[in-house]
Amino acid sequence: MDPNEFRGPYNPNPPKPKKQAPVIHFDQELLQGVDKIIAVASGKGGVGKSTVAVNLAITMARLGYKVGLADADVYGPSVPKMTGTEGTMPRVEVYDAEGTPWPEDREIEPTCKEVFVPVVKYGVKWMSIGYFAAPEQALIWRGPMASTALKQIVLQTAWGKLDYLFIDMPPGTGDIHISLVNDIPLTGAIIVSTPQAVALADVEKGVNMFRNPQIDKHIFGILENMSWFTPEELPDNRYYIFGHDGCAEMCRKYNLPLLGQIPLVQGIREGGDEGTPAALHDGPIFDALKGVAKML
């Protein structure tokens, strides 16, 4: 007999109260205080999209703007590591339907709203799916789950008042990108690429996605990363490892501005690995991204 059906005076197996998960509310209420929402996208992985997104957020914060970054790369969240905030668990606040804080000792009801509080470091508000998973844990999402997780990171976070919210997009141009881009009031996108042909081929897909009539989002321009390598001991030498002016040509083809060129520098890689992004200090990436800031 199902214990839930037992209606006698004594129930040896009293039914446990069923816990209902709170409904996820995907409205755009928490983005109301955000002035500009900018996706940092790339067709290909490994071109430095997260490096650029993290350093751009820090550069903008150094310039005095209020900045947040949502790490929407559900498959390879790298913001916690790059910012040295790994292992931090964002606080969750619970409100009732009217927006009044829910008492901590009361069981959460389906009408409650749960909101993530972003992690603050280097003057930037960070939120990542990586905060909710162990670093070595592979995140295997099916399409709809990935889309939901992604929207939670952006739409269920208490961003407060921001001048800029950057979104580190997953690489590619698949269904989850289209779903994300449609559900978030994007101001526009920055496309990151290296100058090499295989990366540029994917840039075209990215441009076409944002320009697709059903999506139709503004593209601020292309930001070239790993434009050249300069060794520390030969500061005047530039080695064009991934090709020369590839992004400039792509910009001409699609009538887009070239937002800047970031050199390949050992300190940029080290800063990312150590959780102290290079843009915290003056140097080549801060200089390049200061120029980008003026164009956003």
Ligand X SMILES: Nc1ncnc2c1ncn2[C@@H]1O[C@H](COP(=O)(O)OP(=O)(O)O)[C@@H](O)[C@H]1O
Judge whether 47 and 199 are in contact, CB under 8 Å: yes
How many residues bind Mg ion (CB under 5 A)? The answer is 3
**Could you say which of 51, 59, 128, 156 contacts ligand X (CB under 6 A)?**
51
Q: Could you give the string, one character per residue 194-233, with x where binding to Mg ion holds by CB under 5 A and - elsewhere?
A: ----------------------------------------
Q: What would the two tokens of residue 151 be?
A: 């929207």
Q: Would strands 258-264 and 67-71 be described as parallel, antiparallel, or unpaired?
A: unpaired
**Could you say which of 250, 264, 289, 296 contacts ligand X (CB under 6 A)?**
264
Judge whether 128 and 135 are in contact, CB under 8 Å: no
The one segment of 12-20, 48-56, 121-129, 152-160 that binds ligand X by CB under 6 A: 48-56
> 70 or 264, CB closer to ligand X?
264
> 207 or 264, CB closer to ligand X?
264
Nearest Cα to Cα of residue 187 among 19, 26, 31: 31
Q: For helices 49-62 and 284-293, give the axis angle rounded to 10 degrees.
A: 70
Q: What would the two tokens of residue 136 be?
A: 């070595």
Judge whether 290 and 262 are in contact, CB under 8 Å: no
Q: Could you give the string, one character per residue 35-64, with x where binding to Mg ion holds by CB under 5 A and - elsewhere?
A: ---------------x--------------
Residue type, 290: K
How many residues bind ligand X (CB under 6 A)? The answer is 17
Q: Could you give the string, one character per residue 69-108, with x where binding to Mg ion holds by CB under 5 A and - elsewhere?
A: ----x----x------------------------------
Q: Is 55 in the site for ligand X (CB under 6 A)?
A: no
The one segment of 122-130, 179-187, 233-241, 262-270 that binds ligand X by CB under 6 A: 262-270
**Could you say which of 115, 265, 289, 292 contacts ligand X (CB under 6 A)?**
265
> Any idea what the Cα angle at residue 276 is, between residues 273 and 278, rounded to 5°?
95
> Any idea what the Cα angle at residue 243 is, between residues 272 and 59, rounded to 5°?
35
Element at 273 (helix H, strand E): helix 266-274
Q: Is 47 in the site for ligand X (CB under 6 A)?
A: yes
**Could you say which of 50, 85, 152, 156 contacts ligand X (CB under 6 A)?**
50
CB of 60 to ligand X, least distance (A): 17
Q: What would the two tokens of residue 118 be?
A: 């972003």
Three-state helix/strand/coil letters over 81-111: HHCCCCCCCCCEEEECCCCCECCCCCCCCCC
Footprint of ligand X on residues 137-176 (CB under 6 A)?
none
Residues that bind ligand X (CB under 6 A): 42, 45-51, 78, 225-226, 262, 264-265, 268-269, 272
Residues that bind Mg ion (CB under 5 A): 50, 73, 78
